[in-house]
Structure 1
Amino acid sequence: MNLYLRYFDKEVLVNNVDEAINFLNSIGEIVITPELEADIREYAASDVFFPKRYKIRPRVYFIVIKTDAATMLDFKEKKAVRSNNVEKERTAAPAVMRLNEVRPGWYEGSIDFKRVQMVPGTGKFQYRDTHFVAMVKAESGIDCYNKIVEHLRQRVDDRSQFPSSKGKNFKFRYMGLAKDMVK
């Protein structure tokens, strides 16, 4: 793992923390304290891939970025930088990634939405959290979502609120092909 360091227009790609400390020592405005050196060493040894910035004085920082890039050109062309998107893809729900995948058959879809209901006795309306589950014949996860929401819109108050298909309040599971769809 290499480290990229930048302070204004001064930048370097180094192989280890000692080279990084030497680079920082070569910049007169940066004072390397034992705490700063320990923190840089800890960052380099950790599993964290977010860029780290260190304050020199108010509104003046230097940054340190971990990278797999072997050369500065590779780093600049973003060939080996682990971006936040890579981390998000690892942690993203697989269902969201498969939402638009066309796969005809039966889906079990569940949705948690805010349903408007009248309170008996007062005649006032309030939002109530409602959980709805249905088996739907659909082409994809998004088609399943659209069919469930269309069904509910015909049966609940127009002021009810439905979540995004990509949010945590909608889940779907592919159950398989229907017998009449098998060839």
Structure 2
Amino acid sequence: MNLYLRYFDNETLVNNVEEAIAFLRSLGEITVTRNMENDIREYVASNIMFPKRYKVRGHIYFIIIKTTAATMRDFKEKRNTKQAQENNLATNDSPLARLNSQKEGWYEGEIDFKRVVLTPATGKHEYRDTHFVARCKAVSGADCYNRIVDYLRTRVDNRSQFPSAKGKKFHFRYLGMWK
């Protein structure tokens, strides 16, 4: 793992923490303290892949970025980095894309919604969390959601509240093609 450091127009790509600290000391404008050294060492040793900002003074910072790039040119062109490849895979398999992908067949959908029920003792209505699971024929996850909600709307009180298909309270899985 290499480290990219930048302070205004001064930048470098180093192989280890010692070289990074030596670069910071060579700048002159940055006072490298023991706390800063320890913080940099902890950051490099951790699994955190996000860039780290260090405050020099006022609104002035320098940054450290972990990278797998072997040269500055590779880093600048974002080549040969595992993160870029992982990000491409993540965007292709986003929950929204999965929800809208067209695949005819049987789906099992689970929805947690707020159902309005009458409390017999008081004669008043209240919201109750309700878990509902159904299997249905659909062409996508979104279609499965719509079919389940349409079914429930005809069977429960109109004041019941249904979550969004994009939220955490609706889950579905594809069971297979219908015959």
Summarize the Cα distance change of 1:123–1:87 in structure 2 as closer, same or farther, 3 Å threshold: farther
| Residue 3 (structure 1) shift | 0.9
- Give yes or no for the alignment of 1:136 onto 2:142: no
- Which residue number corresponds to residue 157 of structure 1? 157
In the TM superposition, residue 95 of structure 1 has moved relative to its aligned partner by: 6.6
- 1:27 equivalent in structure 2: 27
Q: What is the TM-score when the length of structure 2 is the normalising length? A: 0.81
Aligned to 1:47: 47
Q: Secondary structure at the match of 1:127?
A: strand
User: Does the 8 Å contact 1:66/1:81 carry over to 2?
Assistant: no
Residue in 1 aligned with 2:87? Answer: 86
Q: Distance in 1 between matches of 2:56 and 2:138?
A: 58
Give 2:173's aligned residue.
173
| Alpha-carbon distance, 1:12 to partner | 2.0
Is 1:14 aligned with 2:22? no
SS at match of 1:98: helix
Give the Cα separation in 1 of the matches to 2:149 and 2:36.
Answer: 54
Offset at residue 68 of structure 1 (A): 1.6
Residues 42-81 of structure 1 mapped to structure 2, 5 A cutoff: 42-79=42-79, 80=81
Structure 1 residue 162, shift from structure 2 partner = 1.7
Pick closer, same or farther for the CA change 1:87–1:129 going to 2, 3 Å.
farther
Which moved further from structure 2: 112-121 or 60-69?
A: 112-121
Asked if structure 2 preserves the Cα contact closer than 8 Å seen for 1:138 and 1:144, the reply is yes
How big is each residue's C-alpha offset from its partner over 1:59-83, in whole Å with a ceiling of 9 and x where there is no partner?
3322111012233333233333736
Shift of the 72–157 alpha-carbon distance from structure 1 to 2, 3 Å rule, reads: farther
Aligned mates of 1:89, 1:127 — CA distance in 2: 37
Aligned residues: 176
For residues 121-160 of structure 1, what are the alpha-carbon distances to aligned partners after superposition, in whole Å with 9 as ceiling and x for unaligned? 4443322111111111111222111111122223333332
CA distance in 1, matches of 2:61, 2:95: 40
- In structure 1, distance between residues paired with 2:60 and 2:123: 60
After superposition, the Cα gap between the structure-2 partners of 1:28 and 1:81, relative to the gap in structure 1 and judged at 3 Å, is farther
Q: Contact (CA 8 Å) 1:69, 1:81: kept in 2 or not? A: no
**Separation in 1 of the partners of 2:90 and 2:126?**
38
Identity %: 63
Q: Secondary structure at the match of 1:99?
A: helix
Q: Which amino acid aligns with 2:146?
A: N
Paired amino acid for 2:48? V
Structure-2 change in CA distance of 1:74 and 1:125 (3 Å): farther
Aligned residue in 1 for 2:146: 146
Q: Which runs of 5+ in 1 are unaligned?
A: none
